[in-house]
Amino acid sequence: MHRKPVAPVLVVIAHGSRDPRHAATVHALVRRVRSLRPGLRVETGFLDFNIPSVQGVLESLAAEGVRDVVALPLLLTRAFHAKADIPAVLRDAPSRLRIRQAEVLGPSPLLIDVLERRLYEAGSMPADRSSTGVVLASAGSTDPEAIAVIAEIAREWRRTGWCAVRPAFASAGSPSGFPRTEDVVRELRALGCARVAVAPYVLAPGFLPDRIARGAAGADVLAEVLGPAPEVARVLLERYDAAHTPALAALGA
């Protein structure tokens, strides 16, 4: 009689922040993931500022005898953290662990669904869609791939009927000349949009989301961050399933 292989442990890797709202949001999202997939073991590790650290989580799992892990970056784009920081941490993990790094969360239609719902929760009306310009406000990056993804999301979202959708970047580390939230709010006003809404493409509160909020002072609507939305949790599970399915197939599952 063949025993069903044990599903790999999902380790959610968050950046971490000095702002306590960040860790609280991450933990709420992980609780949502657990509620959607009872029986799946989900652990959380932070790259900086918060505990437990990613390295500490991996060492604890190895000490328990865990063999298979899916490490999932809690990131919306494939920028420096996904390409360099996280792989470096995983390379230093205990050798007994078999670790697969899952893809980052974005882009995903489910995340667009959350962005829209957050806008409506904040006061945007579906009837005003064609007269509302949207600022897609992300944290920002110097990585060309990440910047291109944000721009493509804005283009695709615009095709769903908004007056306009333009990207903006909160981080001072983004390339010089890239628009800030306040710049894009003014640009959409000048374009003739009757209303302007700011949609933070950010997972959790913190320093950069606060900067987005300050830049949205001239907008009509400021949505909340994505947060522990059920759609975000579903994306996590999609990325987990895609990462560990090949491993299960190799075991004859």
pLDDT tens, residue by residue, 232-250 = 999 999 999 999 875 444 4
| pTM of model > 0.85 | yes
Non-local (6+) Cβ contacts of 246 within 8 A are none
Residue whose pair of structure tokens reads 């599903």 in the numeric block? 7
Q: Residues 80-136: pLDDT tens digits?
A: 778 989 999 999 999 999 999 999 999 999 999 999 999 999 999 999 999 999 999
Give the whole-angstrom CA distance, residue 146 versus residue 188: 23
CA 150 from centroid of its chain's CA atoms: 12
Helix axes 144-158, 109-122, angle to 10 degrees: 60
Reading the block at residue 87, the tokens are: 């792989």
* Alpha-carbon gap, residue 234 to 229, rounded angstroms: 9
